[in-house]
Structure 1
Amino acid sequence: MTTHQHAGKQARPEDIINVARLVTDYYQYSPDVNIVEQRVSFGTSGHRGSASNHSFNEHHILAICQAVAEYRFSQGYQGPLYLGKDTHALSEPAFASALAVLIANNVKLVIQADEGFTPTPVISRLIIEHNNQNSGQADGLIITPSHNPPADGGIKYNPPHGGPAAGKVTQVIEQRANEILANDLKEVRTIAYADAINSPELIKQDFASLYIEQLAQVIDMQAIAEAGVSIGVDPLGGSGIHYWPKIAEKYRLNIEVVNPVIDAAFAFMPLDKDGKIRMDCSSPYAMSGLIKLKERFDIAIGNDPDFDRHGIVCQSGGLMNPNHYLAVAINYLMTHRQWPNDAKVGKTLVSSSLIDRVAKALGKPVAEVPVGFKWFVDGLQQGKLAFAGEESAGASFLSKDGSCWTTDKDGFVLGLLAAEMLATTGKDPHQHYLALTDSLGEPHYARVEARANSQQKSILVNLQPNDITIDILAGERIEQVINHAPGNNAAIGGLKVTTKNGWFAARSSGTEDVYKIYAESFLGTAHLAQIIEQAKTLIRNLFDAKTKGE
């Protein structure tokens, strides 16, 4: 994809959404369940869409929340449901809709005391903490489309384990919600918002206090304070914006929030690579404002609107590639935490092989799973995964005592870990990365997309290893072809082909008419380009052959 001419520059008036119109569309438009794009659809992280496209409207939220209420009743969950929201424009009306349905269904609902914003990892921590100490199973809903553009809305369900719901759970909720939509919402129980917000069934709690109080269980906050590490934070207008000053006060940290603005239009954002406003803290274009300030701070941190992702800016090297930081974080944690020796390193199969090389050098086992943080939940909950990370800048890891911290991605702790790393070793993450690549090799990584219709996407999902008949990829002998992840034997929705110094994975997109190729080489950018081109040709030929019935 070519870079937009305004990428990295301040959003222009024509780039900024009309928030009032968007919210009006949320209430005025209704979906047509006969149109696939307007149905409830849970991807790797909940249902997402835009009100103006009839894919995220009040009808969707009413149906989803009714389906969740029915599901948790069928499972016998008698604990509270923690409801959070981020700062997207559609999150506020969706929060009101959700609250009215859940209270009407006699769900014991808990929200932030001031009806403010709540980061995803905080909801995960609240669920885990409640279920560790109380009978009755708590769960949660987070209203967020993550880093998606300002016009989008989203909602995701976290069951009692505290992490993203597994496919078998979301399928039940998705199917029931679409049945409710098809029946014109006749089965939805709801009450007026004014009655819901004043209901005795509604509990208001200061979510931030518990989470911030417990941060010292997972990060060496004392080391950061004593070293005087200067930390710059750009929350990108997200839900954790008010947490950072409280963290600084609690632990006496030198933190400056360089952008304290909350704006549902996110008009302050630099444009992303494609010229859209997108709060992607791993993008050098979206993070260009913070990168310019890197000389002012020892470590700078960015987060997406629901704070489940992290962006790390080092004074010595700028914004870190997410894969590079994951490898560094794993190497540091495995040498600075007293965790069980058999606790594994969790990675998605499209994350860098540098992680595998780090783990091998440390003698640590690796669990490689398909794309989606839901695959890490059980391992984190049981303490079998010491660290779990994915290539899209999302990760979590165990508390210092080896207990579960969160089963969802946590942008706070990954950011603070970078400061701890500098405080305890005297080197920032970029300097640690250079040391790793000096001994283990330097990876070159890319992700590209190509058009694919529904038939081609179906072909890709059903490909078998023996469909790959070539022996050589980009000049190296193919060592492995898989269509199931070795860490849990789950289908990956495509294929991964590996050689000694490179690999590619091809996956079908669940929401767009494209497929994605992820690739990596330890032999340089020219070798990486060769892998990608050969992968494109290979997949194209397979599409042609399968379409013709060969």
Structure 2
Amino acid sequence: MTVTTHPTTPYDGQKPGTSGLRKKVKVFQQPNYAENFIQSVFDVVEGKEGASLVIGGDGRFLNREVIQQAIRMAAAAGYARVIVGRGGILSTPAASNLIRLRGASGGLVLSASHNPGGPDEDFGIKYNIANGGPAPEGVTEAIYQRTTTIGRWQAVDGPDIDLDQDGEVRVGGMVVEIVDPVADYAALMEQLFDFAAIRAAGLTVAFDAMSAVTGPYATEILERRLGFAPGTVRNGKPLPDFGGHHPDPNLVHARELYDHMMGPNAPDFGAASDGDGDRNLIIGRGRFVTPSDSLAILAANAHLAPGYAGGLKGIARSMPTSAAADRVAAKLGIPAFETPTGWKFFGNLLDAGMATICGEESAGTGSDHVREKDGLWAVLLWLNILAVCGQSVDAIVREHYATYGRNYYARHDYEGVETERADALMAELRGKLADLPGQRFGDLVVEGADDFAYTDPTDGSVSRNQGVRVLFEGGSRVVFRLSGTGTSGATLRVYLERYEPSDIDGDTTAMLQSIVDAAEDIAGIKRHTGRTQPDVVT
């Protein structure tokens, strides 16, 4: 085995965020750029010698090329085995499952999630640890520090391997195993859910894979194993540019599915997933279900699926997610956890056995079966609930509201804001916090305001500056946060929530208008950003 050492110099800005390193494809195509980051991962992580590494991605542009180089670099780093999804394909939850199933020391997930793909769009690399979840902040910070000093990267010499042929080949002294990317994940889903009940329920389904990674998984599970009609899965072939789609399962980018589900010939159930398969969109006939409500409804009804028949240990949600799940936890008599955004915080709770189901308002829900959010898992749990209850999505949602009240909820995204302007808005907002309690904005009175900080109950670590919360009397609130999932500029996210214990049939836009007005008065969004309306409303 010949290992070649390639001299290099650091690139600025290789700091991985909550979901790894995301940049434009052309940035990753710079000489040594991807190699620098991958080598920094290998230089920092422990336990490589003789270990297994999982590698896969969502099939976006540059996926195969980076996988080939990562394989040669893993061989030089001392790994004994690399497990790769056929064609370089692994959904993020499937990668998490494979890491756990095979006892791998970690994995490289090549994805920019719900960001668009193609030669002029986005690419990303994320390192997941042995529990199958995203690397914690201590690891990502060490990776970043290494990227600032790196002077060489190493790889074994050799040609590309055939990623499309199952089986084993050797690269240097390391075994590379090409595996079916779907089989192990599908088997796990059969353990968790009552496939026989779903098959017998006579439901009709429309699933939009958005020309992204979930297509093969949904086709195998929904059409083959569950027997839904051919064509149930739309846009089912993963494409390097996602067919020109923006693979974010929201009401803007999945508008065709939404219109279909609101039309006269709608099936019983509609769903979509995103670029790497970890997010979901849920729409019943005539009824859109917000991600926050979906989390609460899934938690309230999870016991209907075999994998959760014994009950839940706890429910966790990210801070910006609505408090609807908290009300379910209170009724069930189990803990409710409010964490910063980022699945790694849920991973700690799941590993400690303190929570079973977790969710984020950004269309991510999951459970302790893996250590990532899982779009198709959410779809299957919904189908299991529908099959057992024999009710429509709309009926289940209305019954839930009647029991728990309704948290009217929306997120307003201001995308591509100049970083300096976004930072100035947040700095000014933080400076107002102490004076906000007691102030009135229209019919709303501020009960409390803070910059959310989280003390992890599993290890005592503290995460500060996680978003500004303005809490109003009666359970309503507005949250301001800058997102770390974009590749340029800043995205200002404004989360709007109004709790109504009995008025459950209002129009969401109308019910939230007073919160929108208060948010503008408090933060001065137009003054700071120049924007008069959000780019995306979900």
TM above 0.5: yes
Q: Judge conservation of contact 1:367–1:487 (CA < 8 Å) in 2.
A: no
For residue 466 of structure 1, what is the amino acid of its counterpart? A
Report the Cα offset of residue 405 of structure 1: 0.7
| Map of 1:144 onto structure 2 | 111
Kindly report which structure 2 residues correspond to 1:28-107, keeping only aligned pairs within 5 A, or say none. 33-34=11-12, 39-52=13-26, 54=27, 57=30, 59-72=32-45, 74-75=46-47, 78-107=50-79
* 1:275-307 residue CA offsets vs partner (Å, 9 max, x unmatched): xxx1111x2232233335443532232111211
Q: What SS does the corresponding residue of 2:83 show, helix, strand or coil?
A: strand
Give the conservation status (yes or no) of the 8 Å contact 1:234–1:290.
Answer: yes
Cα deviations by residue, 1:480-514 (Å, 9 ceiling, x for unpaired): 33323467353243321212131011123446345
In the alignment, is the contact (CA less than 8 A) between 2:57 and 2:90 conserved in 1?
A: yes
The answer as to whether partners of 2:10 and 2:147 remain within 8 angstroms in 1 is no
**C-alpha displacement of 1:362:** 3.2
Q: Which residue of 2 aligns with 1:530?
A: 514
CA-to-aligned-CA distance 1:121-168 (integer Å, 9 cap, x gap) = 11111112233xxxxx52111101011012110111100111111111
Within 5 Å, give how 1:319-330 maps onto structure 2: 319-330=288-299
* 1:191 lines up with 2:161 in the alignment: no
Aligned residue for 1:163? 133
Following superposition, the deviation at residue 519 of structure 1 comes to 1.5
Instruction: Note if 1:308 corresponds to 2:264.
Output: no
Q: Supply the AA of the counterpart residue of 1:209.
A: A
Give the counterpart letter for 1:484 in structure 2.
Answer: F
User: Partners in 2 of 1:59 and 1:487 — Cα distance?
Assistant: 38
Aligned length in residues? 482
The separation in 2 between residues aligned to 1:116 and 1:285, in whole angstroms, is 29
Quick one: distance in 2 between partners of 1:113 and 1:386?
Answer: 27
Contact 1:368/1:485 (CA < 8 Å) preserved in 2? no
**Contact 1:418/1:428 (<8 A) preserved:** no
Letter in 2 for 1:219: F
Give the Cα–Cα distance (whole angstroms) in 2 for the partners of residues 100 and 467 of structure 1.
57
Question: Equivalences for 1:122-521 in 2 at 5 Å?
Answer: 122-131=94-103, 138-150=105-117, 151-180=121-150, 183=151, 186-194=152-160, 198-199=170-171, 200-248=174-222, 251-255=225-229, 256-267=232-243, 269=245, 278-281=246-249, 283-294=250-261, 295=265, 297-317=267-287, 319-333=288-302, 337-339=308-310, 343-397=313-367, 404-449=368-413, 451=417, 453=420, 456=424, 459=427, 466=434, 468-485=436-453, 488=456, 490-499=463-472, 500-510=474-484, 512-521=489-498
Q: Distance in 2 between matches of 1:258 and 1:249?
A: 11
How much has 1:85 moved relative to structure 2? 1.2
Cα contact 1:325–1:429 (8 A) shared by 2: no
CA distance in 1, matches of 2:426, 2:512: 27
The 8 Å contact of residues 359 and 366 in structure 1, kept in 2 or not, is answered as yes
Q: CA 1:538 to 1:69, structure 2 compared with 1: closer, same or farther past 3 Å?
A: same
**Greater displacement, 95-104 / 189-198:** 189-198
| Cα deviation code 1:374-408 (max 9, x no counterpart) | 110011223211110000111111xxxxxx31010
Cα pair 1:58 1:97 within 8 Å, conserved: no
Q: Which structure 2 residue ranges, 5 or more long, are not aligned? A: 1-7, 163-168, 457-461, 501-507, 529-538
Distance 1:252 1:535, change over 3 A: closer
Question: What's 2:531 paired with?
Answer: none
AA matched with 1:287 = A
Q: How many Å apart are 1:535 and its aligned residue?
A: 2.8
Match of 2:534?
Answer: none
| Secondary structure at 2:356 match in 1 | strand
Q: Is the 8 A contact 1:310 1:411 kept in 2?
A: yes
Structure 1 462/296 Cα, relative in aligned 2: closer, same or farther at 3 Å? closer
Amino acid across the alignment from 1:378: N
SS class of match (1:147): coil
How much is the aligned-residue C-alpha RMSD, in angstroms? 3.1
**What SS is found at the alignment partner of 1:385?**
coil
* CA displacement at 1:521 relative to structure 2: 1.4
For residues 71 and 442 of structure 2, what CA distance do their matches in structure 1 show? 55
Decide whether the 8 Å contact of 1:67 with 1:177 is kept in 2: yes
Sequence identity of aligned pairs in percent?
24
- Asked if the contact 1:48–1:56 (Cα under 8 Å) also holds between the matched residues in 2, the reply is no
Q: 2:86 is matched with which residue? A: 114
SS at match of 2:160: helix
User: Which stretch shifts more, 191-200 or 252-261?
Assistant: 191-200
CA distance in structure 1 between the aligned counterparts of 2:321 and 2:467, rounded to whole angstroms: 15
Quote the Cα distance in structure 2 between the aligned partners of 1:220 and 1:250: 15
Secondary structure in 2 aligned to 1:267?
Answer: helix
CA distance in 1, matches of 2:321, 2:453: 12
Q: 2: CA distance between counterparts of 1:210 and 1:297?
A: 29
TM-superposed CA distance for 1:55, in Å, is 5.5
